[in-house]
A = this chain, B = another copy of it.
Amino acid sequence: MTRAPDAERPAGGRRGPAPTGRPTMRDVASAASVSVKTVSRVVHNYPFISDDVRGRVQAEIRRLGFRPNSNAVGLRRTDRPAGGIGVLAADLADPFYAGMLSAIEQVATARSFTTLVASSDEDPARERGLLGTFVERRLDGLIVVSADRRHDHLRPELDVGTRMVFADRPPQRLPVDCVLAAHAEGAGQAVTHLLGQGHRAIAYVGHSPVIHTARERLRGFQAALAEAGLEPHAVRTDAVDAAAAHRAAAELLATPDAPTALFADNPRLVGGVARAIAESAAPRTALVVFDDSELAQVLGVTVVAQDPRELGRRAAELLFTRLDGDRSRPRRVVLPTTLVPRGSGEGFGVALRSAGR
């Protein structure tokens, strides 16, 4: 990318910020209607300046983005401002993002780019505002885990050269690269594994399929059962968090024809479902969960693992390929999932002691 040289202009230059965007003390003085000496005094924190003048000067300093030379000995800065990429996450509390972000940061750091992150909290309106912020803050490229179902409003940003890669969830009517996990196939792997253990009464516990990933996992679950000539034993899509998952699983397990196996569609449900199983009359009820987590590891829960690090790495590499000028057709990368048997899906139950304490 072409970048502006970053050297301070000579003091005698013309008024107004330089086209490079690097304003001088003179620019601040002019904008605040004070002398250059006054600006210098504010910058170096001299006493005997009225609060009014100090406030006006500081406001202009901030507005214009003026940086005094003394900063050269302050924060580490390179000669040219570092490039930056923005990552829009949907929910930073999901452990999925820790691995993904760390891999993105690793790729970006190797290219001397910084990584800034923001979270939409699954709110499309908030997502639009944050993407606007990323663009206003002049980040060079974006990696987007979108909570939105439409993306055509991003087209003007593409047109002016902002590069984007969608991760985890595909773009709708926007010609950009994306990197996804094989959600439907992964859910199918879980079902196939449980069928292989002899289970026929397999129930689904998940959240409402409004977002792409949940929809895909439910679709894959149903398709794999259908292929074996079976129906889901039950489908609960009201498990919005661990507590709701605990309730849903406990209700399923308390029925006379309880399922012999449960599939939970995301890692935030592990604790709730595992507790329901440990507390139930059938503590060896099988459990497979989509996505790995420390909790699943400690509880010996069999999972269908996607690889958030690989997903982050591939998304970041695609983004840099585009920033390097690649204008080929948008690519869609689908990463496979892996079934990791740990006991809960193989007849040993979860490694949680039941209540009774």
CB neighbours of A155 from chain B (8 A): 74
Determine if B357 and A351 form an interchain contact, defined as CB atoms under 8 angstroms apart: yes
Q: Which residues of A contact B (CB under 8 A)?
A: 1-4, 16-17, 19, 21, 27, 31, 43-45, 51, 55-56, 58-68, 70-71, 73-77, 81-82, 84, 86, 92-93, 95, 97-99, 101-102, 105, 109, 114-119, 121, 125-126, 128-133, 135-140, 153-157, 159-161, 242, 271, 274-275, 294-295, 297-300, 325, 327, 343, 348, 351-353, 357
CB neighbours of A343 from chain B (8 A): 357
CB neighbours of A3 from chain B (8 A): 63
Can you name 14 A-B pairs with beta carbons within 8 Å? A44-B159, A58-B161, A61-B161, A73-B153, A74-B155, A75-B132, A81-B136, A82-B132, A82-B136, A84-B137, A101-B119, A115-B119, A116-B117, A274-B298
CB neighbours of A160 from chain B (8 A): 43, 58, 61-62, 66-68
CB neighbours of A63 from chain B (8 A): 2-4
Determine if B352 and A351 form an interchain contact, defined as CB atoms under 8 angstroms apart: yes
Q: For A66, A75, A93, which residue has the most chain B Cβ atoms within 10 angstroms?
A: A75
CB neighbours of A31 from chain B (8 A): 19
Docked CA distance A86–B62 (Å): 15
Nearest chain B CB to A119's CB is how many angstroms away? 7
Docked CA distance A138–B68 (Å): 14
Nearest chain B CB to A324's CB is how many angstroms away? 12
Among residues of B, the one whose C-beta sits closest to the C-beta of A62 is B161
Determine if B75 and A154 form an interchain contact, defined as CB atoms under 8 angstroms apart: yes
Docked CA distance A156–B69 (Å): 9
Docked CA distance A138–B275 (Å): 47
Docked CA distance A31–B4 (Å): 11
Docked CA distance A64–B131 (Å): 18
CB neighbours of A75 from chain B (8 A): 128-129, 131-132, 135, 153-154, 156-157
Docked CA distance A56–B297 (Å): 52
Nearest chain B CB to A21's CB is how many angstroms away? 7
